[in-house]
Structures are given as structure tokens and as C-alpha cells.
Chain A
Amino acid sequence: MPRIKTKRTKAAPEGFDKIQPTLADFDLRLKEVHSEQGSKLAAKANEGTWKILQLTHERSRYIFDLFYKRKAISKELYEWLLREKYADKMLIAKWKKRGYEKLCCLRCIQSSESSSEGHTCICRVPRSVLEKNSKDGVVTFTRCTHCGCSGCASSD
């Protein structure tokens, strides 16, 4: 979620007007997701946040791409966007590292907090390894519980 604009927030640097429509679109989608009614099934208890996490991931990726891949925005604007929390600074920091290029969310690499006995999330395991380790070559894993990621290893 971006910060709420107040009198004290600095004015957006030049070039913000070019990306504003896209950011507004993201906001709209986020609102739609918020208003959706989640499932009451206990089995789907985790799924409520998946879409929100996915959207924030997408927006972070968008800003990351704008600055590092397309080189379409200035450094000032990029920093302003990070400060206003349009993108997840910590997540982007991970994306710059080798092996974490496609990381879905920070919780999935947080070994101390995860429920799966102190390991990183299953979505970090490459699909080829999953296939190799399964008995009959069929992978039962579809989505991780943290953010609904279906696999974010760099080799996938």
C-alpha cells in the first residue's frame, strides 16, 4: 500500500505523470480484491491474502523493471516511489541477488518464521528437483501457503 498523501509528503519528481495511470490501475485492482468476499472454508484460510500479495508483488516488479530493465524513470523518481511504498524495497533488494531473481515474497525465504520446520518455502524449490524427488514424477505441490506462489525458483 502506498503511503497516505499529506501536506508534508514531498511532491513527486518529474516523470511521475507518465506512470501514474498504471499505478492508478493497480490501486483499482487492489480495491476490487479488498472488496471480494473470501471463502469461509477452514482449508482456504490462508488464501485471503494471496491476491493482495500477488498484486503488490506485481507492482514492485513493475517499478523494478521500470528502473532497472527499461531504464524509463529517473533515480529520484525511483527513490521517491520506494519511499512512498509503491514498491517493496526489501523485496527488490532480494531480486538483485543471484538465485532470487523471481522471488515471490519475503516470507517464503524466512526460515525462522516458517511453519515448515525451519526451512525455506517449497515454492523456492526448482520444479525439476520436485519432479526428481517425487516417487512417480508427479508433483503434488501447486501453491505455497504463504502467498499462493506456484514456484519462484530462478531456473523455472
Chain B
Amino acid sequence: MARLWREYKTPDGSKYYYNIESKQSTRERPSDFAEQELDGKKRKLQQTKVACSLDLANNSKLSICQDGSRRFKLGDSGTLQEEIGDEESLNILSQSDEQKLKRLVRSGKKKGEFDTQVHEEVLKHLETLTNPPEKAAEEKGQESDFPSSNSESSAEDHIVAGYSTSEEESDNEVQSLDEVHSESEAQTENELHKENFSSGSSSDLENKEIFTSMFPLYSLDPFSTWNMQSKKLQDDPRFYKVGKDSVREQYFEEWCTRQCNNSKSTDDYVNESELDSESEPDSDRLEPTKYHYLSHIVSKATIKPETLAKDIRAEQKTLFRQFKIKNSLDKKAQEAFISKILFYYKKLDHNQRVDVFEKLLDSKSRSIELGLRHTNKLKDMPLHGDLPEKPFAIETLLLELEDCIDIHGLNKSIQTEVQYYVLGIKPKTIAMKKCLQNYESKV
């Protein structure tokens, strides 16, 4: 039903009222104008279709309309109001997820595409909010009944007060409300965009995969620039899966690094395997341990209680030169090692040193067992027999034994132990043999 009374303004700004049916016009406010106004507003409120409604406390409901606004349904009155005075409901509202509500509002706006998933989520959330404090709510029920009715009336008062003003003003109000809504919507949209950005990382990954899968297809050069290579791709629709050119470039760079490193590492791998296959049959390639020669030199030297590291260096100059110790160890490391080992030579006699050595191997027995390899080779070696006579043969035997316990790989830590070097080559080989015999019997 159209409103009978309309409010207009005269050119000088004063208001007058005009009845469209009786074609009457007055400067005084007609008595039935306000009622009409209210009726009209109510209709307006109800005209906006409710997209969904959520239960709050005390029978009141939060309805989300299709125009994106929120209205509250109080009790059984069935009228929609813009505000709610009920404290409990407000509490629930403040606790509920504002983000999700906003999303609901947004989905409510799109007619027909209502987001039921979000709706369910919000409903569940509200249920958990309302249910646990049920007892408290019941206790409060009697108390809260009174204020709720009070608030109802106050809300109605508010509405009456709000809409009993002239049409123009109320229009302004509606406009401002709309503005607020649109602002909040803009905000929610922004937030949603952000969410999309973060939650869309999975799709981003997919896009990245699709995007990078193009590179080998178009046989891009990993040694080139994105600026040049992108020209090859530009006609492909997959090229536009990734929106920003900077992101595309980043992906390309990543792909290039991977590509370059791959080719390098495969080269390295090939080289290593070649080296391995070359070195294995050749016993000359057996690598001595870190301080192998140095300990050998010390064992040859004459050691008095007052001997220092530099004395040994002065005494065994030729040996130092012969074994090219300078190449593998710098002066400081040499001195540090010699002074450490001198302690053992000065304080302990030969048998004690053998004990120290065996103890070390015992303590490392676990890892030695793990590192044991070339077992068949071990069996071939003259473990039970006497030592070979030539010192060179003894040394090779020792190196082979060391190789068998994988001293350059798994048992690298042994190499750095000082106790490992407290014996000369010959006694060391004997002790080593003894030790390995145990393992061999286990194997």
C-alpha cells in the first residue's frame, strides 16, 4: 500500500505535507503521518528477504538479509529490528566469529549462491557458545526475562524515535547505514582477498607446478634471462596461470638453479663413481689417516723427558720433508698433535700404550663393527700369520686394515683421536690385526 502522506519542501526550505489521494496539502504534520512512516519502514525491513537466521539467546534470532544487512528478531514478536538490547545475545554475538559472520553476510548478498558451508560452521559455533552455559542461562532466565522485555520495548522506542522523523532525515539515515554497510563489505572483501591469498597457497602451488612444467616443454635455456625466455612462452595459456611477472621470474629463477645444480651434481656423481672404481683395485690409492706419518715420525724419534715438539721437528727434518707433512697439516696443527702424543710417549711404556690403543678400539667397537666392509678381503689377508718383512708391506697392510673399518667414512672420528696414534706402525698393525681377528670371528 502506498503511503498517503508525502513530505515535501517548499523552495524556501520549510516542510509541507501532501496527501496523494485527497490531494490535500498542509503545513502541519498530519496525525497519521508517523504511523504510516513506521508501517512503511516495517515493510521495508520485511521486504528485504532473510537469507538465513541464527539462533541467539532468549528466543531471539539474528537474521541476515539478502541485502547484506543484519537484523534481529526478538522473541516471538516476529518483527525485525536493527539493534538488540539483550545482553546475552550480544555476548554470544561478540564471542562468535566475526569473520565468518561477515562472510555469511557476503554470501547472503549473492542471491542463489548462499554459502551453506559457512552457515553450518557458524551454526555449530553458535551452538557450542549457547549450550555449555545453559544452566547459567536458566538460572539467569528469570532475571534476564525482565531486561529482555525491557530492551524490547526500548528497542521499539528507539525505532519509533528513529523513524518518526521526517522522511528525508530517515532517508539520510538509511543512506548512511548503507554506506556503513558498504564500507564493512569492502573491508570484508579485503579480508576475504587476504584469506584467499593465504588459503589459496595450495592452488598457487598447483599453478607453480603447471607453470614450471612448461619450461622443459619449450626447452628453455637455464643459462638465459627471464626477459628473453618469457617470449617463447607468452602464447601459451598456462603462462597466465601466474598473474605477476615478478612471480613468474622468481619461479623461472628457481627452476634455473635446480637445473644448473642438477647437471652439476650428476657430473660430480659420475666423476666420483669413476674415481671410486679406479681407486679400489689400486692399493696405492689407499689413503693414510690424518696424522699417520706424523705419528710414524714421532715413534722413530728419540724421546727424552724434556723433548718438545720443535725438537722433534728439528731432529726429523728429512722425514718431515719426505712425507710432505707441510702439505697436509699446518705448523700449528703439527705442533699441537706432537705435543699431545709426546705425553703418551713420555709417561707410558710400550705395553701401556698398546693397552691404551686397544681400549680405544674397544670403546669404538660398535661403530667399527658397523663400518666393517670388504670382509672377503679381510679373510684373504694374512691375519693369523706373521707380519710381512718389508716395512712398506707392513704399512700397506695397516692401510688396508684401516680401509676395512672404513676409517675415511663412517669411522672418521677415530682419525682425530690422539690415542689412535700412540703406537708406531708395526705395533699398531699387530694390535689392529688382533682387534680385527675378533670381528672376523664374529662375521
Contact residues of A with B, CB < 8 Å?
Answer: 18-19, 21-22, 25, 58, 62, 65-66, 69-72
Contact = CB atoms under 8 A, between A and B. Distances in A.
Interface string B55-94: 0000000000000000000000000000000000000000
Contacts of B224: 19, 21-22, 25
7 closest A-B pairs by CB: A72-B260, A22-B224, A18-B223, A70-B257, A19-B223, A70-B256, A62-B225
Contacts of A70: 222, 253, 256-257, 260
A104 B261 CA distance: 29
Given A25-B228, A65-B253, A71 B221 contact: no
5 contacts: A21-B221, A58-B227, A65-B253, A70-B257, A72-B223
B257 A22 contact: no
A74 to B, nearest CB: 10
B255 to A, nearest CB: 10
Contacts of A22: 221, 223-225, 228
Interface in B236-265: 253, 256-257, 260-261, 264
A69 B260 CA distance: 11
A19 B260 CA distance: 12
A33 to B, nearest CB: 14
B228 A71 contact: no
A19 B228 CA distance: 13
Given A69-B257, A70-B260, A72-B256, 13 more contacts: A18-B223, A21-B221, A21-B224, A22-B223, A22-B225, A58-B227, A65-B253, A66-B223, A70-B222, A70-B253, A70-B257, A72-B223, A72-B257
Interface string B110-127: 000000000000000000
A22 B225 CA distance: 7
A70 B228 CA distance: 17
A22 B257 CA distance: 17
B426 to A, nearest CB: 46
A66 B264 CA distance: 14
Main secondary structure of the interface of A (DSSP, over half): helix
Contacts of A71: 257, 260-261, 264
Interface string B211-229: 0000000000111110110
Contacts of A69: 253, 257
B158 to A, nearest CB: 40
Contacts of A65: 253
Contacts of A66: 223
Contacts of B256: 70, 72
A15 to B, nearest CB: 9
B253 to A, nearest CB: 6
B338 to A, nearest CB: 36
Contacts of B222: 70, 72
- With most chain B CB atoms within 10 A of its CB, the pick from A18, A65, A70 is A70
A140 B257 CA distance: 39
- With most chain A CB atoms within 10 A of its CB, the pick from B221, B223, B253, B261 is B223
A25 B228 CA distance: 8
Nearest to A20: B223
A22 B224 CA distance: 6
Nearest to B222: A72
A21 B219 CA distance: 14
B107 to A, nearest CB: 34
A140 to B, nearest CB: 24
Nearest to A59: B225
Nearest to B228: A25
A66 B259 CA distance: 12
B67 to A, nearest CB: 33
Contacts of A72: 222-223, 256-257, 260
A51 to B, nearest CB: 14
Contacts of B223: 18-19, 22, 66, 72
Nearest to B224: A22
A18 B228 CA distance: 15
Contacts of B261: 71
A65 B260 CA distance: 12
Nearest to A18: B223
A83 B221 CA distance: 25
Nearest to B256: A70
Interface in B250-289: 253, 256-257, 260-261, 264
Contacts of B227: 58
Nearest to A15: B223
